[in-house]
Structure 1
Amino acid sequence: MLFGLFIVSSICSFFYINCVLLFTLRSKPVFCETSRFILLFNLLFADTFQQVPNLLLYILACFDMKIPFDACGFLVLLCVVTESISPLTLAVMSVERYVAVCHPMRHATIFTMRSTGMAIAMVWAFSFINILIRVFMLVHVFTKFHFDSHMNDFCSKEALFFAPIFNDFEKVYASTLFVSVGLAIIGSYIGVALVATSASTDKASARKVLQTLLLHLIQLCLVLTSSMFSTIIIVIARTVGRLTVLRIYNVCFVFLSILPRCLSALIYGLRDQTIRPVLMHNLCCGWKGSVFPNKSR
């Protein structure tokens, strides 16, 4: 219970920071009219949205509460709907940074607000197609087997998608998605690295973009690992007892499911010189107001 309390408090803290950053990205016109900030808002919104059902599932598991299959399916699908949003948005953000460095004169015409909005719409459409496929698979499985109205175990992705067909689909889907996104990020990194050797290139700006793309690749690897969360737990469950599985599940839940979704605020909120002052002001304005009262009083 103490470990569970630590996890819940950590998730709430990250959730608060993400919400403040989301508010920050809508507080000034420059954030609403720049393509990279619009893409960052989409990435952060998807990561923050996923934390809510994840937290509910974890609390239900901590108290060993059994819920109906349909309620469990709704919560799990809410988690799954944003799984592909982050890697796909990272790919678009990497391409945007590549165009900004390698083709600066064409950046304003390629990444307009209209084209950025269309890219975000395509990312969400791809994610909803993934959900529709899973729903059809669930309907097919439920028509083949008889189930009680309530689940026998706590609600989780592993408990809902238990049939072998889901494991096969997960492997094909995750492999295709992350190979495609990985190639986009690596290609953008190589392109920027080649341009950075040019004498006419702003070395400091190119170096910063290279660091950002490298962080994108690390974040993608963490998200890929989180997509393999179910496979890791299933393999471990075959060799150890239930209590050990629950403890490993807690640790993996934090470092594979929660932490990768909280890196956006840390990577962009603290590194970006445009966002950081506004974010720190929004995070600390209440504290400053209480510690440093108005001198005019």
Structure 2
Amino acid sequence: MSFANQSQTNITAGLQYQGLLGIVMFSILTSVPCCVFLFINVTMLFTLRSKLVFRETSRYILLYNLLFADTVLLAQSQLLYIIAACRIILTYPVCGFLITLAYLTNEISPLTLVLMSLERYVAVCYPLRHATIITTRNTGVAITVVWAFCSVNVFIRVVLLLDFPFEDLDSLQMKDFCSDIAMFVGVLSDHYDKAYTCFVFISAGVAVISSYIGVIVAARSASTDKASARKARNTLLLHLVQLGLSLLATMHNPLLLAISEIGSRIVIVRIRMVVYVCIILFPRCLSSLIYGLRDQTIRPILMYHLCCRVKLSVIPAKAEVSVLYQ
């Protein structure tokens, strides 16, 4: 998939035409938001492991899996950005390892969103069977299947990559910055990437939309908890937005290439910077913001940890006592 790494490489490729001050300024503009988002995500991950209720509830286990993949991808993407900003040229094996890790973690997100949507669908449409269908064991099996599926995809990409005659190269040293596009050394790799991206996002989109429609239909039933159905509907809508942002992150590079033909290089670099922060960085922290602010169980504990365990007056007294003594 074409995602953060290509965007970062395109940005830093333009930075080489500017002075040291420009490089420092743009690096700060990306590194500061990235560090903030990483802090929020890591705090959220710690929060989800701090209480037994989070470790034994399926939707929180799925949320942890989503956040873990997004956090690893965010850290790895920023690492590649810093390497490119410092104009460090990697070798093909090292770049291939980093890109492979990025592929793996990037593909976990849309599939985990599908699992989270299905979990909400079962909770609303089959409330009496939810406890028997959505168990901790079944959730672990589903997450394992997702990682296995993504690992098979990565393995296929590596096999396609090995088809390239590296022995004909003078050196394994890359001639450009490390990016996913730089690793498309064969036509088959490019075709496979496009086909896989379309398959995953069409399948994920159909699954999330179907779950959303099912929840809406169930909400009209007299036997359905209206409040629960409304919350599930809003959650599924947010999942659909997250999926759309992930898809947008895979499609924005061709748009930027089209814009680059009509604008100056300085303007293009600034546009790419805005796109990187808004479309690449922010969505990786969206899950933390959605669940951290909306979920009444997570919110007081997350705020407690975000504020470095300083007592806040906005945290209800009972929740604060629970945080301190559990």
TM-score (norm 1): 0.91
Whole-angstrom CA distance in 2 between matches of 1:56 and 1:111: 37
| Corresponding residue for residue 46 of structure 2 | 23
- The runs of at least 4 aligned residues of structure 1 exceeding 6 Å deviation read none
Higher relative contact order (CA 8 A, sep 6+): 2
Unaligned runs of 5+ in 1: 290-297
TM-score (norm 2): 0.83
1:55 aligns with 2:78: yes
What is the deviation of 1:54?
0.3
Whole-angstrom CA distance in 1 between matches of 2:132 and 2:179: 45
Whole-angstrom CA distance in 2 between matches of 1:256 and 1:145: 38
Q: 2:304 aligns with which of 275, 278, 281?
A: 281
| Corresponding residue for residue 213 of structure 1 | 236
The 3 A distance-change label for structure 1 pair 86 and 171 is same
The 3 A distance-change label for structure 1 pair 229 and 183 is same
Whole-angstrom CA distance in 1 between matches of 2:149 and 2:259: 31
User: Are the aligned partners of 2:117 and 2:208 in contact in 1 as well (CA < 8 Å)?
Assistant: yes
The 3 A distance-change label for structure 1 pair 274 and 147 is farther
Q: 2:173 aligns with which of 150, 162, 165?
A: 150
What is the deviation of 1:241?
6.3
Whole-angstrom CA distance in 2 between matches of 1:236 and 1:137: 31
Instruction: Look up the SS of the partner of 1:158 in the other structure.
Output: coil
What is the deviation of 1:161?
2.0
Structure 2: which amino acid aligns with 1:102? C
What is the deviation of 1:143?
4.2
Percent identity reads 51
Q: 2:210 aligns with which of 167, 187, 194?
A: 187
What is the deviation of 1:229?
4.4
Spell out the pairing of 1:1-297 with structure 2 (5 A cutoff).
1-143=24-166, 146=169, 148-236=171-259, 245-288=268-311
The 3 A distance-change label for structure 1 pair 235 and 80 is farther
What is the deviation of 1:248?
3.9
Query: What is the CA deviation profile of residues 166-196 of structure 1, one whole-angstrom value per residue up to 9, with x for unaligned ones?
Result: 3211211011101111111111111110111
Q: How many positions carry a matched residue from both structures?
A: 289
Whole-angstrom CA distance in 1 between matches of 2:256 and 2:89: 20
Whole-angstrom CA distance in 2 between matches of 1:112 and 1:26: 18
Instruction: Look up the SS of the partner of 1:160 in the other structure.
Output: coil
What is the deviation of 1:31?
0.3
User: Are the aligned partners of 2:164 and 2:185 in contact in 1 as well (CA < 8 Å)?
Assistant: no
What is the deviation of 1:42?
0.4
Unaligned runs of 5+ in 2: 1-23, 313-326
Whole-angstrom CA distance in 1 between matches of 2:170 and 2:186: 13
Whole-angstrom CA distance in 1 between matches of 2:192 and 2:96: 17
User: Are the aligned partners of 1:53 and 1:76 in contact in 2 as well (CA < 8 Å)?
Assistant: no
The 3 A distance-change label for structure 1 pair 147 and 262 is farther
